[in-house]
Amino acid sequence: MDKTKKKNLVYNLITILILIVFLFPIYWMVITSLKTTGEIFAEVPTFFPKKITLNGYISQLSVVGTVPLWKNFANSFMIAAATTLVSTGLATLSAYGLARFRLKLSKPLLFIVLVTQMMPTVLFLSPLFITFKKLGILNTLLAPVIYISLQSIPFCIITMRPYFLEIPMELQEAATIDGCGRFKTFTKIMVPVSYPGIVVSAAFTFLWGWGDLMGALTFIQTDALQPLTVNMYKAIGEFGIEWNNLMAYAVILTIPVLIIFLFLQKYLISGITAGAVKA
């Protein structure tokens, strides 16, 4: 075996080891959701259920407290979908403007966008709570949507801007010669060409909204409006945790995330790579 094959073999083994390390928590979550309570608390842990039980899933699909699971699921989906529409729409316009127009303030604006990504989002909870209270939008789904959008818009701008920079200026000039106005050129030419960046931004924003806990926990106190993440947090009881039920809830919460990554993995990888190497 030559040096190149040995090196590739070592790299493959390291990759497989890293993959196992990262996937093991997901595997443990799934098998725990299928175990009985006695097996979960056994002195010797088992890496596969001796007796598979679906009681954890059955209990979650029934009414938890006064709110059925499908209602929390719908709340999570509405928050994530609304956040995706707002963030992706505004960020697409901003990224296009910063990439295609020569503005004196473009570099300072990009610096501000980068700085906002470095700040811990918990800093914004108190001022936003006071603001939302004065606006009368506490205990509404709009409050977490705005909170998550403030976090995701800068990320989307950073992700999409390289795609607009890659589009040749001649393409825009040709559209102008053919009689397209600036807005029509943007919607008919620029957006379709840069759709991979828009897709990856929308996917990450949806996941951001789907997995949000802090915003919903802070701005929503009504049980009927709370998303899945808050209900999962509340499942941790004061006197103990039913781990099979909690892990079943976690599996249900994770399924949409896995589906998005499976179908959009090509765009997600290309979006991360483009945002990393382009100015």
The reported pLDDT for the residue numbered 277 is 45
| pLDDT over 70 at 41, yes or no | yes
The reported pLDDT for the residue numbered 55 is 81
HSE (CB half, 13 Å, CA atoms) of 22?
6
The C-alpha atoms of residue 113 and residue 107 are separated, in whole angstroms, by 10
Annotate 215-235 with DSSP letters as a single string.
HHHHH---GGG--HHHHHHHT
| pLDDT over 60 at 275, yes or no | no
pLDDT digits (tens, 9 = 90+) for 114-165: 777 777 778 888 899 999 999 999 999 999 999 999 889 988 888 888 888 8
Q: Is the pTM of this model over 0.95?
A: no
1 is written with which tokens? 């075996």
The reported pLDDT for the residue numbered 86 is 94
The C-alpha atoms of residue 61 and residue 34 are separated, in whole angstroms, by 15
In this prediction, residues 210-223 reach a mean pLDDT of: 89
Query: Which of 93, 217, 79 has its CA nearest to residue 153?
Result: 93
| pLDDT over 50 at 278, yes or no | no
Alpha helices in the chain (DSSP H): 3-33, 37-40, 55-61, 69-100, 106-118, 125-135, 142-166, 169-177, 182-185, 191-193, 195-210, 214-219, 228-234, 243-277
The C-alpha atoms of residue 214 and residue 221 are separated, in whole angstroms, by 12
Query: What would you report as the CA-atom Rg of the chain, rounded to the nearest whole angstrom?
Result: 23
Dihedral class, residue 129 (left if φ above 0, else alpha if ψ from -120 to 50, else beta): alpha
The reported pLDDT for the residue numbered 279 is 45
pLDDT digits (tens, 9 = 90+) for 223-273: 888 898 887 777 676 556 778 888 888 888 888 888 888 877 776 666 555
The reported pLDDT for the residue numbered 101 is 77
The reported pLDDT for the residue numbered 40 is 85
